[in-house]
């Protein structure tokens, strides 16, 4: 049951990728082929899967795609030396360092060694700064926030809801997700509240939201009865939980859930992203979008010199 519109991120990502592939074909005529380099340090199985998917998507849209595997023992200096080489490589327009680094090593200095115009993850302080001052035409925006905004805009358009002047609540303030989403919402003239672990009376804050973005990392923490009727809900959370089994001999099963109690929201929200199949699939599409944007901007810079 439930009336909420389901926001289909798989379809959204396919639309973005199709559009990128068309633009890449057009650029080929001008002798420009966007190139993406992905750096994987160590052999974490989940990271290997993500990096493989990024390379595959890059090839599918017609990019030049390379993967650099470094051992888990690689030093900061070694990783930065590889990045310097890629910064100087004219065939590469996007450099992505797969995070987290092994052993949770701090990536700050490494990220800052990436040429800002090739920083397709949007994590270099120059890109955060461009986003903060509202220079969206130049900024490379972090992929998950950018993908969340595309889904939000689609849902708002489908429902005839205006983002301008809307009460938007972002739960979560990470540099990777919460903060950039809040900046993007501000750029669309929403009235933005950022909630976090020290927020008093979170249910009441969430209850004000015409637009709710959940980026917490706590399975189904946001309950259906917190949601303002008619709200648009974008659930960024991806949490793996174990499913209780009736058969004690059966292997333990797991499934993915968001930060929002999805089923409870179906009768309340006007639209909601499912998990999986919502924001998740948009992230890789936006990485391709950023790489295309970087290639065009770098080519433009060269032409201007």
- Annotated binding-site residues read 172-174, 238
Cβ pair 38, 98 in contact under 8 A = yes
Structure tokens that stand for 201 in this block: 């009376």
Q: What are phi and psi of 207, to 5 degrees?
A: -65, -15
Catalytic member of 118, 119, 121, 235:
121
Considering the rule CB under 6 A, would residue 239 count as an interface residue with ligand NDP? yes
Helix orientation angle between 9-28 and 143-159, rounded to the nearest 10 degrees: 110
Binders of ligand NDP in range 134-163 (CB under 6 A) = 144
Catalytic member of 8, 33, 44, 54:
54
Considering the rule CB under 6 A, would residue 234 count as an interface residue with ligand NDP? no
Considering the rule CB under 6 A, would residue 173 count as an interface residue with ligand NDP? yes
Considering the rule CB under 6 A, would residue 236 count as an interface residue with ligand NDP? yes
CA dist 157 and 219 (Å) reads: 29
Catalytic member of 98, 179, 183, 259:
98
Which 3 state secondary structure label does DSSP give 78? helix
Q: Give the Å distances, CA to CA, from 168 to 205, 215, 297.
A: 10, 13, 31
Identify which of residues 166 and 215 has a Cβ nearer to ligand NDP in the complex.
Answer: 215
- Of 271, 238, 273, the C-alpha closest to 4 is 271
Is residue 54 part of the annotated active site? The answer reads yes
Considering the rule CB under 6 A, would residue 208 count as an interface residue with ligand NDP? no
What is the residue-wise DSSP string for 82-134? Answer: HHHHHHT-TT--EEEE-SSPGGG---HHHHHHS-GGGBTT--SHHHHHHHHTT
Considering the rule CB under 6 A, would residue 197 count as an interface residue with ligand NDP? yes
Considering the rule CB under 6 A, would residue 96 count as an interface residue with ligand NDP? no
Considering the rule CB under 6 A, would residue 216 count as an interface residue with ligand NDP? yes
Considering the rule CB under 6 A, would residue 83 count as an interface residue with ligand NDP? no
Which 3 state secondary structure label does DSSP give 74? coil
Binders of ligand NDP in range 273-292 (CB under 6 A) = 279-280, 283
Is residue 121 part of the annotated active site? The answer reads yes
Is residue 293 part of the annotated active site? The answer reads no
Shortest gap between Cβ of 216 and ligand NDP (angstroms)? Answer: 4
Identify the helix (H) or strand (E) that includes residue 66: strand 64-70
Considering the rule CB under 6 A, would residue 171 count as an interface residue with ligand NDP? yes
Segment near ligand NDP (CB under 6 A), from 27-35, 76-84, 184-192, 232-240?
232-240
Cβ pair 61, 24 in contact under 8 A = yes
Active site residues: 54, 98, 121
Judged by the rule CB under 6 A, the positions of this chain that interact with ligand NDP are 144, 171-174, 176-178, 195-199, 202, 215-218, 236-239, 279-280, 283
């Amino acid at each position: 049951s439930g009336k909420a519109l389901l926001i289909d991120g798989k379809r959204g990502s396919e639309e973005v990728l199709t559009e990128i592939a068309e633009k890449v074909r057009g650029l080929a005529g001008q002798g420009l082929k966007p190139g993406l380099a992905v750096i994987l340090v160590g052999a974490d199985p989940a990271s290997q899967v993500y990096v493989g998917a990024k390379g595959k998507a890059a090839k599918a849209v017609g990019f030049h795609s390379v993967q650099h595997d470094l051992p888990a023992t690689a030093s900061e200096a070694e990783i930065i030396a590889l990045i310097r080489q890629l910064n100087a490589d004219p065939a590469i327009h996007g450099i992505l360092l797969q995070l987290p680094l092994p052993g949770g090593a701090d990536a700050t200095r490494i990220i800052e060694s990436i040429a800002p115009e090739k920083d397709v993850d949007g994590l270099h302080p120059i890109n955060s700064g461009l986003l903060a001052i509202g220079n969206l035409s130049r900024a490379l925006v972090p992929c998950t926030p950018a993908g969340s905004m595309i889904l939000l805009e689609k849902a708002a358009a489908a429902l005839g809801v205006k983002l301008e002047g809307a009460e938007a609540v972002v739960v979560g303030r990470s540099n990777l997700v919460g903060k950039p989403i809040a900046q993007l919402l501000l750029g669309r003239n929403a009235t933005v509240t950022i909630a976090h672990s020290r927020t008093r009376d979170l249910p009441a804050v969430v209850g004000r939201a015409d637009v709710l973005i959940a980026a917490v990392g706590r399975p189904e923490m946001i309950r259906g009865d917190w949601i303002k009727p008619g709200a648009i809900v974008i659930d960024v959370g991806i949490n793996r939980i174990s499913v209780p089994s009736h058969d004690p001999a059966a292997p333990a099963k797991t499934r993915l859930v968001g930060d929002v109690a999805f089923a409870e929201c179906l009768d309340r929200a006007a639209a909601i992203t499912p998990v999986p199949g919502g924001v998740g699939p948009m992230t890789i599409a936006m990485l391709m979008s950023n790489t295309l944007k970087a290639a065009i901007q770098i080519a433009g810079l060269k032409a201007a010199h």
